[in-house]
Amino acid sequence: MLQRPDRGYFPVAFVDDNSAKLGHRIHGVPILGTTEEIPRLVQRQAVDEIVIAIPSANSKALRKIFEYCRMSSADAKALPHIADIIAGRVTISHIRKVSIEDLLGREPVDVNLDQISGYIANRCVLVTGAGGSIGSELCRQIAEYKPFKLILVDHDENAIFSISEELSSTNAEVEALSLVLDVLNYPAIENVFSQYKPDVVFHAAAHTHVPLMEHQAVEAVRNNVQGTLNIVRLSREYGVARLVNISTDKAVEPVNVMGMTKRVGELIVHASNADGDTTYASVRFGNVLGSAGSVIPTFKAQIENGGPVTVTDPNMERYFMTIPEAVQLVIQTGAFAGRGETFVLDMGKPVRIAKLAEDIIRLSGFKPGEDIDIVYTGTRPGEKLTEKLHWEGKESIATTSHPKIMAVRNDTEMSSEDIFRRVNELISVASEQKEEQALKMLQELAGHSLNVALPGKKRQGV
């Protein structure tokens, strides 16, 4: 900053919580106080901007500092995370606004590189839903472990083109094959399995928007249930070593169509361990920060339009993870997954959506309730106030060798044969576009498997 005053930055003071540093100067700039004194110093020194230059700080520390910054009239900015800058020198151009990911993100995930490389390196890996938020990040991270071949499958041409172009520039040495295919197109997907014989499959293709699926039970069943069954069957038939199915916390005590279909998807994976040599597993986690259609991009768009920011209920809570963190744990889970198991990722503490909205408004440079209003609209069909990561009283949790991954014991009352029989009946009804019958069968299958009564046809947010 001192060398390039033309960039518009002039340092007037440091703050540091190490009392031994107070009163000293760095390059002539005084250390005037602690982070707690930020509001007072901002006023006294006529500060316009605060730069948080602690790229290795965890989210708890950043949130504390940001709270002090928020109490002042200055804008708060930050240096990138250390992982983003270790490869090169930081310049003024790297200074950016504090993001919600900074405040909600958690400690970096520790993964066992040897375990992961052992089942991905020099293997053929297939990712369904490769163009989506989770699928595309799976492709990015898998490519780092140098598979022999990476096959990307998605029905969205533009999405898969985007991740394909990115991989060709960042991991050109990895042979990536991008295919515009639908998991419901069994002959086309079977051709992929028969031709390339993947060793590992990550199944991320799914419809995930709760309100949309509430009115399209048939479509949800076809994509989320039949699509999963197709991938599971082909994995067994063509000798896939490992299949990892991406599930959701909404599969726990499901009250919406999307959650019910994902619950049935877990049952399919669970039932598949009865025969064959394939290792099957499901990984269950909650919301991911910044994923397509999620709440954070929606809030940001509303703020850009001048508000209001809409929140369904002041008590609504959700679990959040960053996309890279969730995917790192998914890949690690694949390394030690057992047969037919369901795994739950440590999501930390749930976040109140109203508080999240307030933070995003402040991070955007506005004051909640003054510059940008928050309006409560009521819960939407199929929404719960809180989500759970396991079914209390019906599922038991066990630790694994990774502190952020837990195994769920699925106490289903049905045999594998019964599960597949009922799944096939459900798919048959859905293929005939019998919406009400498909919804009823879906409710019974998703709930009966754990002997829990589900809401009737007119489901309400709990």
| pLDDT, tens only, 298-344 | 888 898 888 899 998 999 888 777 788 888 889 998 887 766 678 88
Predicted confidence at residue 102, as pLDDT, reads 63
Predicted confidence at residue 108, as pLDDT, reads 58
Catalytic residues: 250
- Stretches in the chain below the pLDDT threshold 50: 89-90, 92, 448-462
**What does the CA dihedral 230, 236, 240, 242 come to, rounded to 10 degrees?**
90
Token pair in block for residue 114? 């040897």
Task: Reduce the secondary structure of the chain to three states and give it as a string.
Answer: CCCCHHHCCCCCCEECCCHHHCCCEECCEEEEECHHHHHHHHHHHCCCEEEECCCCCCHHHHHHHHHHHHCCCCEEEECCCHHHHCCCCCCHHHCEECCHHHHHCCCCCCCCHHHHHHHHCCCEEEEECCCCHHHHHHHHHHHHCCCCEEEEEECCHHHHHHHHHHHHHHCCCCCEEEEECCCCCHHHHHHHHHHHCCCEEEECCCCCCHHHHHCCHHHHHHHHHHHHHHHHHHHHHCCCCEEEEEEEHHHCCCCCHHHHHHHHHHHHHHHHHHCCCCEEEEEEECEEECCCCCHHHHHHHHHHCCCCEEECCCCCEECEEEHHHHHHHHHHHHHHCCCCEEEEECCCCCEEHHHHHHHHHHHCCCCECCCECEEECCCCCCCCCCCCCCCCCCEEEEECCCCCEEEEEECCCCCHHHHHHHHHHHHHHHHCCCHHHHHHHHHHHHHHCCCCCCCCCCCCCC
Please answer whether residues 273 and 280 qualify as being in contact, where contact means their C-beta atoms are separated by less than 8 angstroms. Answer: yes
User: How far apart, in whole angstroms, are the C-alpha atoms of residue 223 and residue 267?
Assistant: 15
Whose CA is closest to 372, among 300, 303, 298, 299? 303
User: How far apart, in whole angstroms, are the C-alpha atoms of residue 236 and residue 164?
Assistant: 27
Predicted confidence at residue 318, as pLDDT, reads 85
User: How far apart, in whole angstroms, are the C-alpha atoms of residue 288 and residue 380?
Assistant: 20
Predicted confidence at residue 454, as pLDDT, reads 39
Predicted confidence at residue 180, as pLDDT, reads 96
**Full-model pTM:** 0.77
Cα Rg of the chain, angstroms: 24
Predicted confidence at residue 450, as pLDDT, reads 42
User: Whats the size of the chain, residue-wise?
Assistant: 462
